[in-house]
Structure 1
Amino acid sequence: MEIVLSKILSQIRYQEDKLSSQMLPTSEEAYQMTLFLNEMLCSIKTQVVQTGFTDEQQEIEFFKNIKPQVLGKLIYYNKVFRIETTCPVSNGEIHQSYYENLLKSLKSEYKESICNEDFYRYYRTGRTDRDHSFFRLGQINYHDGLKSGVFEIDLSFSTYYDNKIAHIIANELLYTYMIAKINPEENPDLILINGDANKDISWTNTQNALIELIYALYASNSIAYGKIGIRKLALIFQVLFRTPLNDIHHSFHRMKTRAGSRTAFLDQLKISLEEYMDKDL
């Protein structure tokens, strides 16, 4: 069995761009994405259950990096649909307080159910030493005192911890979404997303390449003299290029330990620019 992450992300991004170009209400766009992602997840599940994995590493890759991306987006869009269809008004103080209260609840859930857990620190620091027990089927250790949600998952298609990563991804997407709703003046998405000028602006390289560029600009204090945070900087690029970056911190930690050059994209940028300069000589 071979399920390629880049292909799946490309399919998701294509569907998002397709719906976005139709200028649908947010609730309808979220609903259509929920249907699309649910169908994709069901299709992937059928493939996994029927064919299984060729080796342990493929299984770990699937449950650690592939399935959580699909499930995380599915959870996110379903919550956005529920949020938008229960919003009392379209603007004003009630509208503002509605999203502020949702953000408080999200932060509380994040603090109580996510960031204080050992697994969250394991995942955030890019560790791999326990991947064989966290991301393989049939390896659940009930002595760890797991939450009752473990009894509700399909053990033929979940290791329990893939669900936890999916919720981390969904939580961060929701955080960005609600921040933009509460403080649109601090988030340029309303101008960029609703404008026609950026319809053809898209990031056509990999997500890792964009994250590498963002961190390089952040580390060099090249934007706002370094006074802008990495989360906000990432949001600007996500909005500008209409592409989600999900877990940038985890991706960055993986870059720090990857084989070969740790700055592969920046190295290629330098080569490409020098070659372009040589053409004018």
Structure 2
Amino acid sequence: MKSIWQMEALPPLPKPQPLRGTVRADVAVVGAGMAGILTAYELHRRGARVVVFDRGKAGGGVTAGTTAKITSQHRLIYDRLITGFGEERAAQYAQANQRAIRQYAALVEDKGIDCAFERRPAFVYAKDDASALEREAAAAVRLGIPATLTDRTELPFSVAGALCFPDQAQFDPLRFLHALAGELTVYEDTPVWNIEGNAVTFRGGRLRAKAVVVATHYPILNTPGYYFLRMHQQRSYVVALSGAPPVEGMYLDAEESGFSFRQAGG
């Protein structure tokens, strides 16, 4: 089943020269999702020779199934960050995410990327008790985010309250990703068999790099960490509705089991 972002046929990425034997690059990036492509692009524009590998198509994993909200609002996190790590570190997290929104906007504008990028407010809502929202609003303001509380939303049900972060954003992630990936050396349908030190092994050869970035979401390495023993699967479902009432904001339930809303397309 395809996501809403995969319904539009995008032009294929340029096919790079086949890799044979042992080749060299400054950086190898394994995984051509949003994390991998953005990492590769930032290194590339700073002059590094970067090669990207993906076992499937660029953006074909988690990136294809995202709700594609660009926001520093990650449910109710800032009050917990201040309590757990202190205000200085919490502020670093908040400002890094606010800065990332501006960087997305700058990339879209500077490169003229047609990806339905729009500035929208983001809301996290509570259906029963707004006290946690009040604490989160106070924490966000302390960290420099101009957060406000409201009890008026566009949602098709009543809420106890909603916390608004203004000037967040939404976009079409695959159109954005393909615009950047088109400037890079990306080997699609090329599984990486092994990473040993800074050497990446794949069918037909090996690439030696000064650094290797693993951006595969699920770790492809057993050590260090043995993450496969400690991970569990989480899954959520995205439903695209035609003819539904439009919503100007982006919405997320404060509870993990709740609903997320955003508008896409016309």
TM-score (norm. length: structure 2): 0.22
For CA contacts below 8 A with separation 6 or more, give which structure has more relative contact order: 2
Between Structure 1 and Structure 2, the one with more strand by share is 2
Between Structure 1 and Structure 2, the one with more helix by share is 1
TM-score (norm. length: structure 1): 0.22
